[in-house]
């Protein structure tokens, strides 16, 4: 695997995803989260706000052969699909400074744009009129709006699967989609976890009636119950191993160290 980008090479990174330098405003970039980063963000950010992008819908049409599946049995993960009347609710994460920007984009797999799997898009994000921003160190309710006006629209960077990439699986009948998710797991855990945790986050935090997502979650739960299993049992059985705690040597008695 290639080395990560130099934290100072922001404009080199923008060139990689075919973005313009003026997409950065005073070394600030907003990234739109609509999939797993909603419930498992994994990178540092300055603040976040709830809102939506128009002209797209969220669909489980992209394959995953590492994180949530294997080459023999690809998992299903979310992507943005163009739809004129569509709307996708999510979270915009504010990144400030070269180190935070490059750290986040490296974490998000920016290099996948190089092999054509994903496209980088600059989209208009519409902040919820009831949403303000919260810092990465805060928890619970969103508070100070960080200088953004209520309901303001601004540009965000989003990643969407390219339709001509080899892992673009496209639409599938609803029951077959649920069966596919139930049958797959990868290095980050079971594919069921990806879908269910996303559905739980959207239901708790976003004013979004995403029928595609919630119908898939419901079918997964019913199918597992019919098979004598459950979401939590399946997730636990395929949880990735936790890193071992570092060994510590026993402290010597002060009389021995004399």
Q: Which positions are annotated as active-site residues?
A: 112
Distance CA 24, CA 145 (A): 20
Distance CA 20, CA 11 (A): 8
Phi/psi for 209 (5° steps) reads -100, 75
Q: 75-96 and 153-161: which strand pairing?
A: unpaired
Is residue 101 within 8 A of residue 95, CB to CB? The reply is yes
Give the relative orientation of helices 191-205 and 174-182 as an angle to the nearest 10 degrees.
120
Calculate the CA 203 to chain-centre distance: 16
């Amino acid at each position: 695997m290639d080395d990560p980008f130099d934290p100072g090479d922001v404009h080199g990174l923008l060139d990689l995803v075919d973005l313009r330098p003026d997409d950065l405003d005073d070394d600030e970039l907003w990234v739109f989260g609509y999939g797993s980063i909603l419930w498992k963000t994994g990178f540092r950010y300055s603040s976040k706000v709830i809102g939506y992008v128009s002209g797209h819908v969220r669909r489980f049409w992209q394959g995953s052969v590492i994180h949530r599946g294997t080459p023999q049995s690809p998992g299903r993960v979310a992507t943005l699909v163009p739809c004129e009347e569509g709307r996708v609710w999510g979270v915009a994460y504010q990144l400030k400074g070269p180190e935070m920007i490059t750290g986040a984009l490296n974490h998000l797999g920016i290099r996948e744009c190089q092999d054509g799997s994903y496209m980088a898009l600059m989209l208009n994000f519409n902040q919820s009129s009831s949403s303000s921003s919260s810092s990465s160190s805060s928890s619970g309710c969103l508070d100070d709006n960080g200088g953004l006006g209520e309901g303001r629209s601004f540009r965000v960077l989003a990643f969407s699967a390219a339709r001509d990439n080899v892992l673009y699986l496209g639409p599938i009948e609803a029951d077959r989609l649920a069966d596919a998710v139930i049958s797959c797991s990868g290095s980050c855990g079971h594919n069921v976890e990806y879908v269910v945790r996303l559905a739980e986050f959207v239901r708790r935090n976003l004013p979004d009636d995403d029928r595609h997502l919630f119908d898939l979650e419901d079918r997964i739960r019913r199918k597992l119950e019919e098979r004598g299993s459950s979401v939590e049992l399946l997730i636990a059985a395929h949880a990735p191993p936790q890193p071992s705690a570092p060994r510590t040597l026993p402290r010597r008695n002060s009389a021995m160290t004399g």
